[in-house]
């Protein structure tokens, strides 16, 4: 009996050897056989056949009779995989108990605190570069909150957004009511866009994992301003930011939704 290479590799990943796969497939095809017949059918040397059969029985892939000559029967693949899953889970639990009981006291005594890696980016070009990085790594969903003060960010990243759109990534943009209509029109071709007033901050969330939060502008010594943002590759922070984004999205009123639809239809 032959199977696809993918199925063979899947069985190997569950811990079956090449000999064990050959023996199980032979039994699955015939139904029941003696060790001698299995050896001939599978091509596994007779000197190895009992070692392989005992291993398969321990792993839950076959069972044997008490008759003479002894016969071996294949278990259902579903039953065998479930047995392996339970054995692996029990092994993990046992190891978890042992490791945690010994290592957690050491960790707690050390005073080490878990924290996400967070970076601060200053200036439109540095922020745009980091946003581009998030966009390039995005595979499924991109959320963008674009207050008017950071509208300049939309222009340099539009080519990358177009590439994401063509790859089938879902793009959602929440923009300020004061955003330039041309910018809104361009974004609406590749994303679902809504307009909202009183947006004081913004951000970019990629695949509910990477997040960049655009803060209020920072004052420079000469009295001018530059945008500031924080970036983190942290699912907890990204999830919090995503929830807040959806809160703002739902808060956009019907007039803004209708205005946006009119922009997209022009």
Report the pLDDT value the prediction gives residue 45, as an integer from 0 to 100: 95
Query: Do residue 99 and residue 51 come from a single domain?
Result: yes
Instruction: Please indicate, yes or no, whether residues 141 and 197 belong to a single structural domain of this protein.
Output: yes
Answer with the one of 85, 114, 143 that is the final residue of a domain: 114
Q: For the whole prediction, is pTM greater than 0.85? A: no
Query: Is the Cα torsion angle 81, 85, 91, 92 positive or negative in sign?
Result: positive
213: Cβ contacts below 8 Å, ≥ 6 apart: 201, 202, 203, 229, 230, 231, 241
Cβ–Cβ under 8 Å, residues 56 and 77? no
Token digits for 178?
A: 């004061």
Instruction: Please give the angle made by the CA atoms of 216, 218 and 222, to the nearest 5 degrees.
Output: 145
| Domain match, 32 and 157 both | no
27/205 Cα distance (integer angstroms): 52
Q: What is the pLDDT of residue 259?
A: 47
Angle, in degrees to the nearest 10, between helices 154-167 and 181-188: 20
In terms of domains, do 109 and 218 share one? no
Shared domain check, 232 and 126: yes
CATH number at residue 64: 1.10.10.10
pLDDT band for position 263 (cuts 50, 70, 90):
very low
Segments forming the whole domain that contains residue 142: 118-265
In this structure, the dihedral spanned by the alpha carbons of residues 226, 232, 237 and 241, taken in order and rounded to 10 degrees, is: 40
pLDDT of residue 256: 44
Q: Residue 162 has what pLDDT? A: 87
Is the domain of 153 the same as that of 211? yes
Of 55, 90, 114, which one is at a domain's C-terminal end? Answer: 114
Same domain for 92 and 206, yes or no, is no
On whether both 179 and 123 belong to a single domain, the answer is: yes
Shared domain for 99 and 140, answered yes or no, is no
Percent helix, strand and coil across the chain, each to the nearest 5: 55, 20, 25
Indicate the number of domains in the chain. Answer: 2
| Over residues 225-240, mean pLDDT | 82
Q: Output phi, psi for 257, to 5 deg.
A: -65, -45
Mean per-residue pLDDT for 21-30? Answer: 94
For residue range 52-93, what is the model confidence (pLDDT) as tens digits?
999 999 999 999 998 888 999 999 999 999 988 888 888 888
Same domain, 100 and 135: no
What CATH number does residue 203 fall under? 3.30.870.10
Phi, psi of 25 (to 5 degrees): -65, -35
Last residue of a domain, one of 98, 114, 130: 114
């Amino acid at each position: 009996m032959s199977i696809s290479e993918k199925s063979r590799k899947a069985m190997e990943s569950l811990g079956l050897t090449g000999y064990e796969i050959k023996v199980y497939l032979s039994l699955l095809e015939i139904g029941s056989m003696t060790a001698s017949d299995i050896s001939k059918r599978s091509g596994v040397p007779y000197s190895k056949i009992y070692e392989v059969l005992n291993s398969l029985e321990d792993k839950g892939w076959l069972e044997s009779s008490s008759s003479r000559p002894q016969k071996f029967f294949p278990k259902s693949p579903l039953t065998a995989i479930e047995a392996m899953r339970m054995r692996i889970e029990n092994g993990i639990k046992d190891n978890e108990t042992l490791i945690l009981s010994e290592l957690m006291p050491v960790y707690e005594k050390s005073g080490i605190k878990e924290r996400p890696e967070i970076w601060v980016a200053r200036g439109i070009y540095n922020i745009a570069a980091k946003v581009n990085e998030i966009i390039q790594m995005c595979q499924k969903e991109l959320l963008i909150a674009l207050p008017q003060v950071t509208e300049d960010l939309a222009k340099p990243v539009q080519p990358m957004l177009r590439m994401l759109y063509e790859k089938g990534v879902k793009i959602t943009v929440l923009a300020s009511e004061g955003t330039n209509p041309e910018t809104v029109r361009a974004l609406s071709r590749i994303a679902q866009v809504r307009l909202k007033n009183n947006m004081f901050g913004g951000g970019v969330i990629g695949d509910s994992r990477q997040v960049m939060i655009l803060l209020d502008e920072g004052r420079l010594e000469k009295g001018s301003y530059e945008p500031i943002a924080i970036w983190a590759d942290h699912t907890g922070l990204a999830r919090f930011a995503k929830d807040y984004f959806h809160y703002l999205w739902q808060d956009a009123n019907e007039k803004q939704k209708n205005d946006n639809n009119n922009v997209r239809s022009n």
